[in-house]
Amino acid sequence: MSKLEQTEYDLAVVGGGPGGYVAAIRAAQLGMKTVLIEKDQLGGVCLNWGCIPTKALLRSADVLRLVREASRFGVQAGVPQADLQAMVARSRAVAAELNRGVGYLMKKNKVTVINGTARLAGRGRLAIERKDGDGQSHVRAKHIILATGARARVLPGLVPDGESVWSYREALVPRQAPRRLLVIGAGAIGIEFASFYLALGAEVSVVEMADRILPVEDEDISAHVAKALRKDGMHLYTGSRIVSADKRPLGAGHEWHVSLGGKHQETLVADVVLVAAGIVGNVEKLGLEGSAVKVERTHIVTDAFGATGEPGVYAIGDVAGPPWLAHKASHEGVACVEKIAGLHPHPLEASSIAACTYSHPQVASVGMTEAAARQAGRRIRVGKFPFSVNGKAIALGATDGFAKVVFDESSGELLGAHMVGEEVTEMIQGYAIARQLESTEAELMATVFPHPTQSEVMHEAVLAAYQRTLHI
Ligand SMILES: Cc1cc2nc3c(=O)[nH]c(=O)nc-3n(C[C@H](O)[C@H](O)[C@H](O)COP(=O)(O)OP(=O)(O)OC[C@H]3O[C@@H](n4cnc5c(N)ncnc54)[C@H](O)[C@@H]3O)c2cc1C
Give the separation between CA 386 and CA 400, rounded to whole angstroms: 8
pLDDT digit string, tens, across residues 118-161: 999 999 999 999 997 778 999 999 999 999 999 999 999 999 99
Ligand 1 centre to CA of 18 (Å) is 7
Question: In this structure, are residues 264 and 239 in contact, taking their beta carbons and an 8 Å threshold?
Answer: yes
* For ligand 1, mutation pick of 35, 37, 45 (most atoms within 8 Å of CB): 45
Between CA 182 and CA 271 the distance in angstroms is 8
- 15 in contact with ligand 1, CB cutoff 6 A: yes
Atom of ligand 1 nearest to the CA of 285: 41
Mean pLDDT rounded to a whole number for the chain: 97
Ligand 1 proximity of 20 Cβ (cutoff 6 Å): yes
Task: Return the beta strands (E) in 263-400 as ranges.
Answer: 267-270, 272-275, 279-281, 295-296, 299-300, 313-315, 355-357, 362-367, 380-386
Indicate whether residue 361 lines ligand 1 (CB < 6 A): no
Note the pLDDT tens digit of each residue in 202-214.
999 999 999 999 9
pLDDT at 120: 98
Model confidence at 101: pLDDT above 90: yes
Residues 6+ apart with CB under 8 A from 113: 16, 35, 36, 37, 38, 42, 103, 106
Examine the pLDDT at 1 and tell me if it is beyond 70. Answer: no
Compute CA distances 435 → 53, 156, 350, 373, 431, whole Å. Answer: 30, 41, 11, 15, 6
The 10s digit of each residue's pLDDT in 393-429 is 999 999 999 999 999 999 999 999 999 999 999 999 9
CA of 288 relative to ligand 1 center, distance in Å:
20
Q: How far, in Å, CA of 208 to CA of 205, rounded?
A: 10
Orientation angle between helical segments 84-108 and 20-29, nearest 10 degrees: 30
C-alpha 241: how far from its chain's center? 23
Tell me what pLDDT residue 4 has.
75
| pLDDT band at residue 252 using 50, 70 and 90 as cut-offs | confident
- Does residue 451 have a pLDDT over 70? yes
Active site residue 451: yes
**Residue 260: pLDDT over 90:** yes
Asked if 378 contacts 408 with a C-beta cutoff of 8 angstroms, the reply is: yes
CA 234 to CA 223: how far, in whole Å?
14
